[in-house]
A and B are shown apart, each in its own frame.
Chain A
Amino acid sequence: MEILEKTDKIHEDMLKTFEQKIDRGDAIEPRGHMPDGYRKHLLRQISQHAHSEVIGMQPEGNWITRAPSLRAKQILLAKIQDEGGHGLYLYSAAETLGISREEMIDQLHSGKAKYSNIFNYPALTWADIGAIGWLVDGAAIVNQVSLQRTSYGPYSRAMVRICKEESFHQRQGYEIMAKMMKGTKDQQAMAQDAMNRWWWPSLMMFGPHDTESPHTGDAVKWKIKRQSNDELRQKFIDKTVQQAEVIGLTIPDKDLKWNEDKRHYDHGPINWDEFYRVINGNGQCNKQRMAHHIKVHNAGAWVRAAAEAYRQKKEKQLLHL
């Protein structure tokens, strides 16, 4: 009995220390105590974030071989490479919580782990590469800038590095759109078409309205999430509307207007039926993205096995020296 009471007391103290750290705004580090719910929430969020970076390479990779100039190809390749690198930092950050990359990939393949819904939309024309960089990465940055202050140290540090590179991505996307809007009628039409298709899905990237978001409560208490979905979405809209105006693109929302009292743009209703339809597997590319990831992973199994066999062989040889 005494022992049990002691253990309870220890747990209580650890939780108290954790909560005090959170209240003070100190970073939580991998070796420190954290409640199970905190660990689970982070694992889910960081692995989803990592998978998003990796799955996001598919729609953009789809245009590397067709990039219309050497410079455009170079920039796109460098950008996709950055995304892969972000995937690596984030997998490492998640690994500090006691999960391996292999397990995370298994969870992705089984459907247990998710990736950002936005990548279930197809990249149909070159202008989509502009729209993805400008709008999708633009939305991601707003979220990631906020996550730089997230309470988990490894995640927050990964975000600091990622944000530095993401702002370059957004400029790259915007530059593609700006160039096309200065170009021929065909190019302008292509850019506007991409804008029309990517605007609303980009707004959905911030997730359901605050009143509907099931994960917000704990995440806010634990300072994993520092700003709400709607706050972040509003930030994105406010900065993007002006950028669109500068290059002559029209935002496909007839209800969009400046609200002088709130000092923000008001926007029309978001089609949440579409959001849930895509999240539940019926986007155009859900099956395609996952089938591709699984196919590539399986096709590479013999290479990973060879690398492991070779490593073991060399290790044995070293031991016998």
Chain B
Amino acid sequence: MTEQDALYKYCLRLGDDALIHSYRLSEWCSNAPILEEDLALTNFALDMIGRAQLLLTYAGQLEGKGRTDDDLAYRRSEREYFNHLLLELPNGDFAHTIARLLFSSVWEYYFFNELQHSRDTTLAAIAAKTVKEVKYHMAHATDWAIRLGDGTEESNHRMQKAIDDLWMYTGELFETDEQTAILRDKNIAADMAMIKAKWRQEIERIIGEATLTMPKDEYMQTGSSTGIHTEYLGHILSEMQYLQRAYPEATW
């Protein structure tokens, strides 16, 4: 694998993360517990679409086959997607959505903070922009996790169940493979071991403040780095890509 190939895949994966998470958050439109929350969650979805556009456009340039961000978003199939499994799971109740946003935004915060110093200047610039947005996502998720954890008995149970249910999908966030090793050597990719330690510390702090219990580290799900997903991704893609696939000659 060349450095260029590795970087293509790295950007694609980060772009897919943003795209798929934005898809899930956008499903909250007209579905949130209060109007203000409807606006907040779809606002995060908007940030993420913007991030997906930047990363997929850059991935397309690295690939060198003339594919645009839309080509990559709308014309790839299940096995060609590389987003983390956590982000494609159904929204569940509001507590599950908050737990996912908490796990992913804390991860993104430390991850993009590191990536700002990447030797690849495009990636570094995207990371710098992303950190600013992710700060808000993280603050919002943290506030809600604490409010729900320390709210009523029901909200405490729901929040605990959400972090327990999603815990086994967090291991994947810190995996490394051949491609990240190549990029690490060149000071392009972020250092996962360090991010994992910071992430864990911050999540423990928030879960403690929310009067919740840290889940046990048992089996961690894996597969998305090689395009092995949950059954849910196929449904996302069939809905998201429907018009582009049904009218392949059309531009919108």
User: What is the CB-to-nearest-CB distance from A156 to chain B, in angstroms, rounded to a whole number?
Assistant: 22
Q: Is B78 an interface residue (CB 8 A)?
A: no
A64: chain B residues at CB < 8 Å are 26-27, 29
Binary per-residue interface labels of chain A (285-321) against chain B in the complex, 1 for a CB within 8 Å, 0 otherwise: 0000000100010011111111101100100000000
Q: Which of B81-89, B134-142, B164-172, B240-248 forms part of the interface with chain A?
A: B240-248
Say whether B250 contacts A313, CB under 8 Å. Answer: no
Q: Is A216 an interface residue (CB 8 A)?
A: no
Within 8 Å by CB of B46, from A72, A74, A307, lies A74
Binary per-residue interface labels of chain B (39-71) against chain A in the complex, 1 for a CB within 8 Å, 0 otherwise: 100110110011011001000000000000110
A65 and B42 in contact, given A70-B52, A310-B151 (Cβ under 8 angstroms) = no
Say whether A307 contacts B147, CB under 8 Å. Answer: yes
What 4 pairs between A and B have smallest CB-CB spacing?
A: A300-B33, A306-B151, A306-B155, A303-B33
Say whether B29 contacts A302, CB under 8 Å. Answer: no
Binary per-residue interface labels of chain B (215-245) against chain A in the complex, 1 for a CB within 8 Å, 0 otherwise: 0000000000000000000001001101110
A72: chain B residues at CB < 8 Å are 252
User: What is the CB-to-nearest-CB distance from B246 to chain A, in angstroms, rounded to a whole number?
Assistant: 9
A70: chain B residues at CB < 8 Å are 19, 49, 52-53, 56, 69-70, 73
A66: chain B residues at CB < 8 Å are 239-240, 242-243
Closest-by-CB residue of A relative to B26 is A64
Say whether B243 contacts A68, CB under 8 Å. Answer: yes
Q: Is B77 an interface residue (CB 8 A)?
A: no
A77 and B151 in contact, given A69-B252, A84-B35 (Cβ under 8 angstroms) = no
- Tell me the bound Cα distance from A66 to B42 in angstroms: 15
- Tell me the bound Cα distance from A80 to B39 in angstroms: 9
Within 8 Å by CB of A183, from B26, B239, B242, B251, lies B251
Say whether A187 contacts B247, CB under 8 Å. Answer: yes
B244: chain A residues at CB < 8 Å are 68-69
Within 8 Å by CB of B158, from A54, A73, A302, lies A302
Closest-by-CB residue of B relative to A300 is B33
Interface centre among B42, B52, B56, B236 (most CB of A within 10 A): B42
Binary per-residue interface labels of chain B (117-151) against chain A in the complex, 1 for a CB within 8 Å, 0 otherwise: 00000000000000000000000000000111011
